[in-house]
Amino acid sequence: MALCVRLVRQGSRKPPQNRFAFPVSRGRFPDRRSATVAADLPILHPMQLFRSLVILFGGLGLAGLGGAATGTTGTIAGRILNPATGEYVRYAEVTVRGTALAAVSGDDGSYQLTGVPAGEAILSVAYTGAAPVTVTVPVRAGATTTRDLELVSTLAAAGGAAGTRDEVLRLQAFTVSSEREGNAKAIMEQRQSMNITNSVASDVFGDVAEGNAAEFLKNIPGVDLFLVQGEIVNVRLRGLGAEYNSVTIDGVRLASADANKGAAGDARAFSFEQVSLNSMDSIEVSKTISADVDANAPAGTINLKTKRAFSRQGRRLSWQVNATSFGGSFRLGRSYGPDDAPHRKFRPGGIVEYSDVFFGGRLGMILNVSESNLASENARTLATYNFTTTATDTRPVVPTSLALYQSPRINRRSTVTFTTDFKAGPSLVLSLGLIYNAAQLYNTQRTFTFTATNRAAVIGADPLRAFAATGTITTNPAAVVKPGEAYTVLPKFEFKRGTLTVDGKLVGSVSTSWYSPFAKKGSARNAGSPQLTGVGVTAEHLSTIGGDWHLVQTSGPDLGLGTGYSNREFQINDGRFGRTKVLGLDLAATWRTSRWAPIAWKAGAKRQREGRDFQDQSNARFLLYSGPGAGTGNWADYASPFAFDGRMPNSRLVSSSGRGIFVPSLLGIGALFRAHPEYFTDRIGNGSTPGARYQSAFVANTRRYEEGITAGFLMGTASLGRATLRAGLRWERTASDSLEFDPRTPAEVRTAGFAVTASTGVAATIPGVQYQYFSQPRVHRTGSYDNFFPSASFKYRFARNLDFQLGYSSTIRRPTFRDIAGVWSIDDAGLTIAAPNPNLKPERSKNLAARLAYYFEPVGLLGFNLYQNRVKGLFRTSQLTAQEFGNTDEEFAHYTFVTTVPGERGVTIRGMELDYSQSLSFLPKPFRGLNVRASYTRNYAQIITPNMSPHGVNAGLSYSHGRVNVYASANWRDYVPLNATGTSFNRHRMPIDVGGNLKLSRRLELFFTGRNLRSEPVITVQRSGAAPAVPTTYEITGAVWTFGVKGVW
């Protein structure tokens, strides 16, 4: 369990000199105006912990000196290469026959065996899918013998046994599929890990030209996806939300900003929108974690490993050119969408990667530049219902509104990655990683809604299939232009000498996300949802569950003309902005001893500082058209040439004159504002409730939060015959600093002569809000807490190919930013204060997992996993007295404080995973090129857990023959609840992906991919009481196709 050492709660007007050296207070909650007081619990200072770790680590190391090599032994070292691919092989098992000596090759293919008896040593190398290698190496006492080794696929070795070495390698280049090679890498990595992991190499699931790394994760057992218009934004592990897992690159947490989630409950969740797969070598998903990993990962960690220059031999230039489009727009010419101007839907992209080694292999570098452009379209049909029967209307459910939604989009993602490694000496390697990611989403969301006047206005015996009604039509196009970029600098070093390894990492990362349709594209944010009243329609539903509603106007003003629509205030631009900065230092040392048993001792320390800024000034962007022709129908002359198209869900909306619905042109409105800003009136100062709008734009939705984490750990891994045992303890101290407004009380505002809205306690005018929130300096509300995290894992090898693993870890989920940073809202009328809690303790989780894995040749795995996550202290909103809150201001002594606190309620999630994959190369021709994989995931919780899929199945089949390789994969998910009561849920669905490539030569090939081949919809269903379940959302995203050519030199 997570052992809480102390909890600090305090508040002060001035920041301390050391931002993260925080004093301690007794109060249970932060006092808005209190000074610092003494602590009630002893403090374990970071330096005390560090000194303890150093003393313990040094003692353990000295105890192991007795196991040092004597003068009768020597060392064997070298590198292991796959000559067909030019890649050095990692995780190959190297053993010395007749001894217990063993080693595993590193990321650069290097291995080292110490303590080898002098004389003739017989080395054996084992790697799944490769022909076994046995060599004899002469060993001299006290010396190091270098022996490099090569591994060749069993397919090529068998097929080219009678040929020369070059013939064998040429055969391997044409007969071994990338999926088979990738699965081999994954199996070897999983076998060597002490954590329960799933590893995948970047060449397993085909080409992902659009570069979204999350596309690479969907085939892994236990992974669920969070989609936005068909694109994966976040991933969930083992039934827990995305905020419960940790995503790192090369073991380092990077900055991730999403301007749309600044105040959301999952704002800590990593966004994959700004991360490209193209510079990644592999991805490791760990279901259990060790003490050397950050503890904020109850569901596990996802580590993206970048490509390294020392993992390849010599110079290499690879390139790719591709074009991507979606199934509904397979044409080379221009067409409307995503906005009111024509754009090409076949979008170009490409990748160039150059790697080389210099100075006799001492300096290596990789430069990867990628660009992806993806045009796609998302369409939805949405419905709301009335479930309340009356004496005169006993129909169990009646639709009260129908909305048709069309959302074309262009997604652009660019990445530049530069990594370099330098062997500064025989023991020291210096590395530098530079990563730049940029993304821009251009998306027009066009929603057209018919709303019935009331339930009685909907006429029809079976309104779920057909009805007639009168009501209001709303046309609401909205432009989303969401740029984002991230910069990362990652210097590292690794020092190896004998049995000691010391490594360090320094990371500086900045991620920025914002919305800007007007500045970037000259488009208005929206048109203000103009409405047309008194409209009669007939509606027919062609199916029971689909989105195929057909609406035809029967009366009222023509909905295809803009002359009758109302003039409403609208947003000229978007005001959302988010930025995250991360600066961290990570040091660790590993010392291998062997006096009583081979033990690897590892200790380390970490310091990380993270800053988050969020703003949403959207309420300051509202305008009202007041120029020539202002009033009803003022946008009639600004009709969009991009007509509504409902073909994807087979929906229609037809006016009385046979036209489609009127759509205002956002580009036209933006151009008018740019040319004549005098035609528009700013609503924040001239509309209703100016104080509330100003406070929302510049106060309530402005947050600045900083968090510092100091950590230390000690861990030992012992090899005891067939068993391997690891135990560790991690300590983390979390210190927070929220820079917040210090508002004047409503009474003070009234005394100053400003009116106050009684229900909110906010000044009613802009000058009043400025006096209330800006006349006093902003304050730093600070706090901290400490936790200890024990962890342990056990692995037992029953046979050479049968492993059992058991893992335990204690973790936390830190509070979301909206609960620990924000504005005090004082209600004098209700005597309440809504306040954030900057010292909110994290949720605690105990995680237990077990795996039984059977490995078989060629390249096969059968795994059975069981797991349990028990999360306690789930956050809840509570009402506290001023004394319980820790308030000392007599003015608020009788107020009730509403804040977020840890609850007594918890949830236990249990699950099971079955995982199978195998290369069927043992079959006779032409079936030996088959590769199959399948997995089943079962999640179960004590309570209904929103967005947790109870059942999931992944399956894939690939086939290679000669120059041709094709594959198909399917991902099935069962019904998924969307709320805690289970009344709203997504129906089961099964997207299918396909792809393939044709090798024109050893250096050139053609490829294609098709994602979501059947345009599988997402169908959301609602049920209420005894009424039949009805669809509320039918969402469909068209299939995405990519065609390209790639080469290697």
pLDDT tens digits for 664-695?
999 999 999 999 999 999 999 888 889 999 99
Per-residue pLDDT, 228: 82
Per-residue pLDDT, 263: 62
Which of 311-315, 349-353, 977-981 reaches the highest mean pLDDT?
Answer: 349-353
Split at pLDDT 50, 70, 90, the class of 891 is low
Mean pLDDT computed over 919-926 = 87
The partner residues of 16 in beta bridges, in order of sequence, read none
Per-residue pLDDT, 897: 80
Distance CA 296, CA 814 (A): 7
Architecture of domain 195-306: Beta Complex (2.170)
Ranking 432-441, 461-470, 920-929 by mean pLDDT, the lowest is: 920-929
Nearest C-alpha neighbor of 801 from the set 849, 851, 862, 850: 862
Kindly tell me if the per-residue pLDDT of 848 is higher than 90: yes
Split at pLDDT 50, 70, 90, the class of 273 is confident
Split at pLDDT 50, 70, 90, the class of 1004 is very high
| Amino acid at position 522, single letter | G
994, two tokens: 């396909």
* Span between the terminal Cα atoms of the chain, in Å: 53
Phi, psi of 576 (to 5 degrees): -85, 140
Kindly tell me if the per-residue pLDDT of 438 is higher than 70: yes
Per-residue pLDDT, 776: 94
Kindly tell me if the per-residue pLDDT of 9 is higher than 80: no
Kindly tell me if the per-residue pLDDT of 766 is higher than 90: yes
Summary count for the chain: helices (H), strands (E): 12, 57
Ranking 6-20, 255-269, 355-369 by mean pLDDT, the lowest is: 6-20
Per-residue pLDDT, 828: 63
Mean pLDDT over the full length of the chain: 86
Helix (H, G, I), strand (E, B) or coil at 711: strand
Per-residue pLDDT, 16: 36
Per-residue pLDDT, 200: 82
Of 58 and 193, the structure prediction assigns the larger pLDDT to 193
Alpha helices in 639-715 (DSSP H): 666-675, 683-686, 690-695
Tens-place pLDDT, residues 157-209? 555 444 555 554 444 444 455 777 888 888 898 888 999 998 887 766 556 66
Before 926, cis peptide (omega within 30)? yes
Reading phi first (left if > 0) and then psi (alpha if -120 to 50, else beta), residue 650 is in left
Of 1049 and 652, the structure prediction assigns the larger pLDDT to 652
Cβ-based neighbours of 103, under 8 Å, separated by 6 or more = 93, 94, 95, 111, 112, 113
Distance CA 628, CA 845 (A): 63
Of 924 and 594, the structure prediction assigns the larger pLDDT to 924
Kindly tell me if the per-residue pLDDT of 959 is higher than 80: yes
Nearest C-alpha neighbor of 76 from the set 151, 148, 126: 148
Distance CA 675, CA 671 (A): 6
List C-alpha distances in Å: 228 to 234, 337, 406, 443: 9, 18, 14, 12
Of 414 and 275, the structure prediction assigns the larger pLDDT to 414
Of 988 and 87, the structure prediction assigns the larger pLDDT to 988
Which of 213-217, 627-631, 854-858 reaches the highest mean pLDDT?
Answer: 627-631
Kindly tell me if the per-residue pLDDT of 43 is higher than 60: no
Distance CA 331, CA 318 (A): 29
Split at pLDDT 50, 70, 90, the class of 5 is very low
Domain boundaries along the sequence of the chain: 73-175, 195-306, 313-489+518-571+623-687
Tens-place pLDDT, residues 505-535? 999 999 999 999 999 999 999 999 999 999 9
Distance CA 191, CA 199 (A): 10
Per-residue pLDDT, 30: 36
Ranking 451-465, 531-545, 900-914 by mean pLDDT, the lowest is: 900-914
Split at pLDDT 50, 70, 90, the class of 49 is very low
Give the CATH class of 73-175: mainly beta
Longest Cα separation, the chain: 101
Tens-place pLDDT, residues 785-835? 999 999 999 999 999 899 999 999 999 999 887 787 777 777 666 677 877
Split at pLDDT 50, 70, 90, the class of 981 is confident
Per-residue pLDDT, 19: 34
Mean pLDDT computed over 977-1005 = 91
Kindly tell me if the per-residue pLDDT of 399 is higher than 80: yes
Phi, psi of 213 (to 5 degrees): -65, -25
Percentage of the chain beyond pLDDT 70 is 88
Per-residue pLDDT, 457: 94
